[in-house]
Amino acid sequence: MALLIFQAGMFVGFKKAGFSYRVGEQYFRQMNGRPNDQFMGMNRGDFENSHGAIGKIISISLPSVIISDKDNTEKTILISSSTDIRKFKDSIKPEDLKINDFVTVIGNPNDKAEIEARLVRIMPDPANMQGGFIGTTTIK
């Protein structure tokens, strides 16, 4: 049983490390940089979140959406016909997404360092909420 858990941990770690490596390689390839340089304080040992993103939409060119993540990292999200897009309880179409929408995305990484979205949820922007996040402080 312990071996099975160890193997699962190795598999997940390998996937995350591979995604982080591809993000860096794609960035430097697109920006004509040198892959051995440090980028915005991110060392090779830092891992990107490979299965999702939380942030504001900064560009829409369907089926791709670019999100500015919590550290101002841009992530490319791919939306397909099977992607579930929700605003509160309602399902919406990809065409209803807008720039500056605050979204949470859950999906799977691909070999191009993009996230293939399974769920996109539009949420209220925490920066605009009075009193902070729901559940951590009281709303005034």
Q: What is the pLDDT of residue 25?
A: 58
Domain count of the chain?
Answer: 2
Chain centroid to CA 29:
20
Residue 89 has φ and ψ, to the nearest 5°, of -95, -10
Domain limit, last residue, from 15, 32, 48:
48
Give me the mean pLDDT over the 107-133 stretch: 82
Are residues 69 and 133 located together in one domain of the fold?
Answer: yes
Q: How many percent of the chain have pLDDT more than 90?
A: 38
Are residues 2 and 43 located together in one domain of the fold?
Answer: yes
**Smallest Cα–Cα separation from 68: which of 79, 53, 81?**
53
Are residues 31 and 54 located together in one domain of the fold?
Answer: no
Domain at 76, CATH number: 2.40.50.140
Residue 65: CB partners within 8 Å, gap ≥ 6?
57, 59, 76, 77, 79, 97, 120
Are residues 43 and 82 located together in one domain of the fold?
Answer: no
Residue 30, classified by CB atoms within 10 Å of its CB into exposed (0-12), middle (13-18) or buried (19+), is: exposed
pTM above 0.75, yes or no: no
